[in-house]
Amino acid sequence: MFRFPFPSLWQQKENRVIMLEPQQLSQNQPCSEDETMVPVLTSRKASELPVNEAACILQADLQSGLSQEEVSRRRVYHGWNEFDISEDEPLWRKYMSQFKDPLILLLLASAVISVIMHQFDDAISITVAIIIVVTVAFVQEYRSEKSLEELGKLMPPECHCIRDGHLEHLLARELVPGDTVCLSVGERVPADLRLFEASDLSIDESSLTGETHPSAKTTSPQPASSNGDLSSRSNVAFMGTLVRCGKAKGIVIGTGENSEFGEVFKMMQAEEAPKTPLQKSMDLLGKQLSLYSFGIIGVIMLVGWLQGKGILDMFTIGVSLAVAAIPEGLPIVVTVTLALGVMRMVKKRAIVKKLPIVETLGCCNVICSDKTGTLTKNEMTVTQVFTSDGLHAEVTGVGYNGVGEVLLDGEMVHGFSCPSISKVVEVGCVCNDSVIRNQNLLGRPTEGALIALAMKMGLEGVQKEYVRLEEHPFTSEQKWMSVRCVHRTQQDKTGVYFVKGAYEQVIRFCSSYNSRGSALPLNHQQRELYQQQISYMGSSGLRVLGFASGSQMGSLTFLGLVGIIDPPREGVKEAIATLINSGVAIKMITGDSQETAVSIASRLGLYSKGCQCLSGEEVDHLDLQELSDVVPRIAVFYRASPRHKLKIVKSLQNLGAVVAMTGDGVNDAVALKAADIGVAMGQTGTDVCKEAADMILVDDDFQTIMSAIEEGKGIYNNIKNFVRFQLSTSIAALTLISLATLMNFPNPLNAMQILWINIIMDGPPAQSLGVEPVDRDVIRKPPRNVKDSILTRGLLVKVLVSAFIIVCGTLFVFWRELQDNVITPRDTTMTFTCFVFFDMFNALSSRSQTRMVHEIGLCSNRPFCFAVLASIMGQLLVIYFPPLQSVFQTESLSILDLLFLLSLTSSVCVVSEVIKKLERCRGAERRPPTDCSLEV
């Protein structure tokens, strides 16, 4: 798709694109029917032009809309109204990008060397391993992208558009520049629009501009002198924003990448995503294995040359040993284990876009979470009503419905049974522009809470009893709203003002207060009483609104207060407690006031003694280093907007933290990409936000993040288990061959036996370690230090101990059978079978680094049981099946031989279990800190 520069107007004529400068507009006649141009207007220019001139340039018919023929013609040029991020990267390139992994490159080099040395068996096996690895990785990432596409198809954006004179309901992707779109309450703006009709229109642009309060819209041209940032363009509705109240019509001026989303995409693409900890660990392991392999080649060649052997022969042996040292199955198991994790996460209502992100969650030690919709339900609910004459009522029920009661001293209040309460509820219902339909809110959340309160008292119909004569809409600056209404039975009267808003604003218009139906003068004592009540409600995390009514705005009668709260989601408090106890710091980011934010955080267990809070304004005043110094002690960021998130992420990363950041708005996209784990909301998140994120919460639930962290820790443990098994087996096999070569001993294993051991080492028993069920206690363990290699000191000790036991045991059997100094098939069969049995017991002990075999359960991992059983059956066939005996040069063993080998080889499992017991006794697992401070 061709991307148009933002500051200019463009048109196409006779297959040529011509740029029109603004001063040329008067000289050209874009409205001419003979012209075939396809114009695009930038939001800046469209906002400065009168409606008729903008429509003329866009060749738009404001009343009848475009014809289907014209729509088709424009779509050929502009394409669909959507973002196609991957259109410039074909599938073959995505497949080839999988070969950039260091282990893959090392395997490729080994395959090439094997071909040069005419070791075609090794070359073929390595090549097959490479193809399996890259194909599995490619298929899983492709499936993840398709899952993401399916998520978008569940609720595709729709719109109302006028075409051929008829109002049509169609998908937003079908819009083209020049279309006429109709907007109403609750709808997402489907494209950038130049408004030409607007009735009490208020649009929530927080997802794009970061402004927390809805923006009032008009249709008049914007003077060039005041046309600054996006928020100043009051006659343009931007794609992805939400209509909070009112209705409007507009002409489409920009679609897809030609909308204002384009600038956000540029920023998002410029922000390079950091490597995941698993990628870093695999890179490090790849380099370590490379040095290890080439070191062996050098030593073998040097020793062989000193012994007078041929340099070419020694190089062949060295390359063979180096190839044997590379565990071909490692990338396969890592990829398959992560892929299975992705599949399990889908069942837990989370879509992971990149495989390594699942593991990254396992070492996440900071979560920066939005409050609204993630920690809370995003359903404002009235919980308290305080009347001007001192009555205090409790309200039950949650959500935008009539389920619940209003209780005064334990007695239910309904209708007008208590006039003091009913008057407050009546004002809240009449001075209201929102609607609740089928428990879905169309309008502002705060107004929805007031309608739900009226429904609980049976007063939701009172709004229809009044005729609205005049309205003063709510704005973020004045913080109050008023309507002048007259009762339908008294339309000859002047009407009554109903006012609601912030208490300090509403009380300015009041000269009296209601006391049991009488208006008494408002004195200082009453004002102090109301202020105390507001402080009390605020300390409980309630958002407080004041209500008044009267015949004149300057002399209203104050009626009372209501306290509104966005209740926490079920299970979030428990999830937060579990995460904090495991060493994960959680930062809440909200646009609420300090009192409300701290109250909610305290209720959720996020804010405790020793924790601090910081405002968005204070974040602006601190530089990155200063913020990094204080951010460990901060539990709550209040009055914060999306633009502060990137700075918070960078300050935490400065401390070495692995940061997960949640977001749903367009402006969150940059912070999500900069974070180690960007988490987008599936229900409320914008397309840009989902594209930038690494993981998407389908149900916007914080508990899903905890499930993902649990999955990530379990997956990393499984990868460590596999690494332990494969490296110990690889080192043991390599040591045996190296000792035989360096000391001029006969080789204890022939080529086919080594190949069979390699199949077991990289085959089903090893692969099945990657699907070990996640330990239920893993979520309580502290996050892994991101700086740690996958080969920790403890793991390396276990690898070397296991390898030492395997080598010693196998050499003992070889020495025991070689008493006559002549190698026979029985000698190699005993040695070969001993090594294979050692492998099986080593795999059994490698299923967990901390739990004993009897605690895990022998049959808890069925794939492992089947894999070990199959391997043992295969080994018995190699020993007892005549055709295979001739291939592997083996002979039958007696039952006593097998019992001797089983008792000997089980020692590797016994020693491993003893080490686990000793580690547990020493208290190897330290209890993480439970305060709000961040340890990195």
Contact 936, 365 (CB under 8 A): yes
Crossing angle between the packed helical segments 329-347 and 702-742, to the nearest 10 degrees: 170
CA distance 618 to 612: 13
Q: Which residues are tagged catalytic?
A: 370
The sign of the torsion formed by the CA atoms of 750, 752, 757, 762 equals: positive
CA distance 441 to 125: 61
Residues 6+ apart with CB under 8 A from 684: 373, 378, 664, 700
Half-sphere exposure (Cβ direction) of 523: Cα atoms closer than 13 Å:
5
Residue 475 region, left (φ>0) first, then alpha (ψ -120 to 50), else beta?
A: beta
CA distance 232 to 248: 18
Residue 275 C-alpha from the chain's centroid = 16
CA distance 661 to 682: 14
The conformation of residue 729, written as its DSSP 8-state character, comes to H
Report the length, in residues, of the chain: 936
The alpha-helical segments, DSSP class H, found in 445-523 are 445-456, 503-506
Tokens read off for 604 = 């959720």
Contact 361, 541 (CB under 8 A): no
Number of Cβ within 10 Å of residue 159's Cβ equals 23
The conformation of residue 568, written as its DSSP 8-state character, comes to B
CA distance 378 to 598: 17
The conformation of residue 493, written as its DSSP 8-state character, comes to S
Q: Element (H or E) spanning 306, and its range?
A: helix 277-306
CA distance 297 to 207: 58
CA distance 712 to 907: 32
Tokens read off for 58 = 């866009």
* Burial group, residue 94, by CB count within 10 angstroms (0-12, 13-18, 19+): middle
CA distance 385 to 539: 15
Q: What is the 3-state secondary structure (H, E, C) of 284-299?
A: HHHHHHHHHHHHHHHH
Contact 675, 649 (CB under 8 A): yes
Using alpha carbons, select from 750, 760, 880, 735 the residue that is nearest to residue 828. Answer: 750
